[in-house]
Amino acid sequence: MLRSMTGFGHCEYTEQDITFTIEIKTVNHRYSDIFLRMPKQLSPFEELIRSLTLAKIQRGKVDIYITYENKSSDFQEVILDEGLAKAYCDAMRRISSNLGLRDDISATSLARFPDIIKVEKQDNNEEVGKILEKAFSLALEELIQMRTREGEKLKESLFANLSSIETYIGIICEKAPLVVKEYKEKLEARLSELIDLEMVDQGRIATEVALFADKCSIDEELVRLKSHIMQMREMLNVGSPVGKKADFLIQEMNREVNTIGSKASDIDITRNVVELKSEIEKLREQIQNIE
């Protein structure tokens, strides 16, 4: 399927009291560029996230945001800072001694001071990694589905552009053989105004017409242009990743059209060349959105 480079995927997934909230946004970019923002405790999984992303997305700027909450009691640990507790105890005894107060220090009262006892999460990386992979895969799948829907809409538009291009090429193909004939008629008409046409060497006229025909011939360019259109249709039908190849093919199409325009000596061909350039530019703009 043809995919757009623009998309959005979101997932909030909970398992074993572990919750991941994941957002993935993608926009156009010439290459693959991944920006990842997540909590420090998930740093061991950065390579996993990048590999999962690159397996599905070959082109585009990707912004990934991951938030994480672990409420599982299985991974909680109570930590006592004994050094800090001793310092608090010594300070309280000095206060009692200096002010003549009753010394009623107890473990319960000491535990109320900040940072003496802390509860920390001790994550099981294996379990967290499995849950993260599930959550991220769900968000990534939603993103791919959106990029695919957008890609199919773009495909319809691109095919319409190609049909328009073929229409203008058809008009030029019909007009091209008449250019030489019209030139010969104009040449003979001009000569007849100046001199008696019967006195003119017909071989000389034929030579001039042949030189003109060779100079303004656009047959090869038209054949190559038709071939490029056929290749473009085939690539779009095959699906993504195709953006870079299609972009290169459009450059070749532009080159052929410019050559036709430089050779054309007919006003009708020139007008259709202008229309061709306009349609190819529309095609190029749309291709910038394709992965």
75: DSSP letter: G
Could you tell me which residues are beta bridge partners of residue 37?
Answer: 65
**Mean pLDDT value of segment 187-214:** 55
Residue 147, number of CB atoms within 10 A of its CB: 27
Q: How confident is the model at residue 23 (pLDDT cuts 50, 70, 90)?
A: very high
Least confident of 25-34, 62-71, 99-108, 182-191: 182-191
Instruction: Tell me the CB-side half-sphere exposure of residue 286, using CA atoms within 13 A.
Output: 24
pLDDT in tens, 230-240: 998 888 888 77
- What pLDDT sits at residue 142? 95
With 80 as the cut, is the pLDDT of residue 202 above it? no
| Annotated domain spans of the chain | 7-71+124-148, 82-115, 153-287
What pLDDT does residue 147 have? 92
Q: How many CB atoms lie within 10 A of CB 88?
A: 20
Domain 7-71+124-148 has CATH 3.20.20.100: no
Q: What is the pLDDT of residues 74-108, one digit of tens each?
A: 555 667 778 888 888 888 888 888 877 777 778 87
Structure tokens at 240: 């993504």
Measured CA distances, 82 to 14, 96, 110, 286 (Å) = 36, 21, 11, 66
Question: Which range among 154-158, 219-223, 236-240, 263-267 shows the weakest confidence by mean pLDDT?
Answer: 263-267
Say what the pLDDT of residue 217 is: 67
* SS3 of residue 47 by DSSP: helix
Residue 26 near residue 40 (C-beta atoms within 8 A): no
Percent of the chain with pLDDT over 90: 26
Task: Write down the pLDDT at residue 111.
Answer: 77
According to the per-residue pLDDT averaged within each range, which of 18-32, 62-76, 238-252 is highest? 18-32
Q: Are the C-beta atoms of residues 245 and 59 closer than 8 Å to each other?
A: no
Cα atoms found within 13 Å of the Cα of residue 46, Cβ hemisphere only? 10
Burial label for 122, CB within 10 Å (0-12, 13-18, 19+), is exposed
Whether pTM exceeds 0.85? no
Q: Where are the beta strands (DSSP E) in 49-148?
A: 60-70, 76-80, 117-121
- Average pLDDT value for residue range 141-153: 92
Q: Spelled out in words, what is the top-level CATH class assigned to the domain 153-287?
A: mainly alpha
pLDDT-based confidence at residue 171 (cuts at 50, 70, 90): confident
pLDDT bucket at 134, cuts 50 / 70 / 90 = very high
More confident residue, 72 or 136: 136
Q: Which amino acid is at 26?
A: T
Q: Above 70 in pLDDT, residue 181?
A: no
